[in-house]
Chains A and B, each alone.
Chain A
Amino acid sequence: SAVISQKPSRDICQRGTSLTIQCQVDSQVTMMFWYRQQPGQSLTLIATANQGSEATYESGFVIDKFPISRPNLTFSTLTVSNMSPEDSSIYLCSVSVGTGSSAQYFGPGTRLTVT
């Protein structure tokens, strides 16, 4: 398994501003993922972040809105840009651990409220 931490754990932001969420893993991992969980909903994948290459975004998510950095094998950031109340969600990062396995371990999440 992997131990994953996220900062901040929660934040309240004004519309039009941006927030950068950090994800730190206690071991080197190839693949990191960013998910969004809107209130009362399941998890939706935003993007996959590979070290040394551009993130791959899912349909409905764009780099201008959710820029991602992956500077090394233990760290990634997700920025939520030009926020609106619809961006109020829990944002979770996860990592895939193990060769030939798609088991994923999740960070504690960042609870974002946009007013």
Chain B
Amino acid sequence: AQSVTQPDIHITVSEGASLELRCNYSYGATPYLFWYVQSPGQGLQLLLKYFSGDTLVQGIKGFEAEFKRSQSSFNLRKPSVHWSDAAEYFCAVGAMGQAGTALIFGKGTTLSVSS
């Protein structure tokens, strides 16, 4: 069955430290992969997406993610975390080449930033 696993429910990082949020997926075909961020009381904002090509993708707000097919992973990274990055982060997978296919979401990782 198709699924997305985010192993870390809650992570606390010091401001200025690096960040890595883990995401593993199970998908029968070549997936489209996404990271979304949800700030308190806000909707979901698309951080970045991977469709094909370079496996290291750059997103907004200084985030990047690396697709590793052999590990079925799509981990999100940021070299230096800012207090405003505190939010809920969701990894999602969609069907490649199929516009309008609904996304499958992981359960999310809550990021807290300490000063």
Interface size on B, residues (CB 8 A): 26
In the complex, chain A residues 27-75 whose Cβ is within 8 Å of any chain B Cβ? 30-31, 33, 41-43, 45, 48, 58
Q: Residue-by-residue, is B16-44 near A (CB-CB < 8 Å gives 1, otherwise 0)?
A: 00000000000000001010100001111
**Which among A58, A96, A109 is the interface contact of B100 at CB below 8 angstroms?**
A96
Q: Is A12 an interface residue (CB 8 A)?
A: no
Q: In the complex, A6→B51 CA distance in Å?
A: 28
- Contact indicator A103/B108 (Cβ below 8 Å): no
Q: Is the CB of B107 within 8 A of A41?
A: yes
Q: Could you tell me if B32 and A92 are in contact, using CB atoms closer than 8 angstroms? A: no
- Is there an interface contact between B99 and A101, defined as CB atoms closer than 8 Å? yes
- Do A105 and B46 touch across chains, with their CB atoms under 8 A apart? yes
Given contacts A31-B99, A96-B99, A102-B94, 12 further A-B contacts (CB under 8 A): A30-B100, A43-B105, A48-B102, A92-B43, A101-B51, A102-B100, A103-B46, A103-B49, A106-B43, A108-B42, A109-B42, A109-B43
Residues in chain B near residue A94, CB distance under 8 A:
44
* CA distance in complex: A58, B96 (Å): 20
Residues A104 and B43 in contact, CB atoms below 8 Å apart: no
A42 nearest CB across to chain B (Å): 5
What's the nearest-Cβ distance from chain A to residue B48, in Å? 10
Q: Which residues of A contact B45 (CB under 8 A)?
A: 106
Question: Which residue in chain B gives the minimum CB-CB distance to A105?
Answer: B46
The minimal Cβ–Cβ distance linking A32 to chain B, given in whole angstroms, is: 9
Residues in B with CB closer than 8 Å to A108 are 42-43
CB contacts under 8 Å to A, within B63-115, are: 90, 94-103, 105-108
